[in-house]
């Protein structure tokens, strides 16, 4: 089965983010929920994502 660019993150991959609270800030890595930060998914999975109508969901969570 083939692969294609992740429809959720468009192959952006994991990225560094700063999270700040009332006492301090810390670095963390954020990655796409759908592809896990790989940037590619199977064609069938991408088709299911599009049919579900999730095109406005950024799908990012902490990967650390």
pLDDT, tens digit, 9 for 90 and up, residues 19-53:
999 999 999 999 998 998 899 999 999 998 888 87
Structure-model confidence comparison of residues 59 and 53, the more confident one: 53
Global pTM exceeds 0.75: no
Q: Which domain holds residue 31?
A: 3-62
The number of distinct structural domains making up the chain is 1
pLDDT confidence tier of residue 58, bands split at 50, 70 and 90:
very low
**Confidence check: pLDDT of 64 > 50:** no
How many CA atoms are closer than 13 Å to the CA of 2, on its beta-carbon side?
Answer: 4
Beta strand pairing call for 3-5 and 40-42: antiparallel
């Amino acid at each position: 089965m083939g692969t294609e660019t992740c429809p959720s993150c468009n192959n952006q991959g994991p990225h560094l983010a700063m999270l700040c609270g009332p006492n301090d800030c810390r670095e963390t890595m954020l990655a796409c929920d759908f592809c896990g930060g790989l940037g590619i998914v199977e064609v069938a999975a991408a088709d299911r994502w599009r049919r579900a109508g999730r095109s406005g969901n950024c799908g990012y969570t902490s990967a650390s």
